[in-house]
Amino acid sequence: MNPVLNAIAERNSCRNFSPTPLSENDINALVNAALAAPSAMNLQPWHIIVVTNKPLLEEMDNHAMETLKAQNPEGYTRMMDRGGTIFYNAPCVIFIAKNDSKFATLDAGIVSQNITLAAHSLGLGSVICAMANIPLTGTKGARFLNEIKMPEGYEFGMAVCVGAPITGKAPHELDPAKVTYIS
């Protein structure tokens, strides 16, 4: 099978990472994959922020869980059932900041997909993490935005947790009912 189609078919969302740090080569490959993403009118409305500072990620994670518990008990329970963290102990979280241009949200999604496919091709696990926004908007949000060096004029777009998977799972089943063909 074509290696790209194979990566798309095999990739899954990892929610159980080893604490082993990523190599510099792996981080560079992920960043290059992110930067290679297409964007509307090639505006590239993103800024990539790679966070490997484990104490910072743990503090952000703990604050997110506290915030979730107070604001969304159902979401909190779901996250507790998945290990009690939003970052799943990933040694690397790649934040995709976006500006306010018209297609920036879509473009941030494309960047996140490039990162996940690149991670899979490197033998790493990944999960796209929209909940990474929680600590950035909570009571410590301004401090966390400063600590991750969110550029002026940008806001959270998406994040991807990356690391060596401890456990794996099968990719989700394809649902052909989600497709309509017009000839």
The mean pLDDT value for 99-128 works out to 97
Return all residues near 96 (Cβ < 8 A) that are at least 6 apart. 34, 46, 47, 48, 49, 108, 111, 112, 157, 158, 159, 160
Kindly state whether residue 183 falls inside one of the protein's structural domains: no
At residue 57, the pLDDT reads 98
Q: What CATH number corresponds to the domain at position 166?
A: 3.40.109.10
Number of domains forming the structure of the chain: 1
Here the contacts of 31-34 (C-beta below 8 Å, separation 24 or greater) are 31/94, 32/118, 33/114, 33/115, 33/117, 33/118, 34/94, 34/96, 34/111, 34/114, 34/115, 34/118
> Per residue in 41-92, pLDDT tens?
999 999 999 999 999 999 999 999 999 899 888 888 888 888 889 999 999 9
Q: Is the pLDDT of residue 167 over 90?
A: no
Q: Which domain holds residue 123?
A: 3-178
**pTM for the model:** 0.94
Nearest alpha-carbon partner for 35 in 79, 94, 82, 80: 94
At residue 170, the pLDDT reads 83
Quickly count helices (H) and strands (E) in the chain.
Answer: 7, 4
Q: Is the pLDDT of residue 157 over 80?
A: yes
Kindly state whether residue 123 falls inside one of the protein's structural domains: yes
Average predicted confidence (pLDDT) for the chain: 94
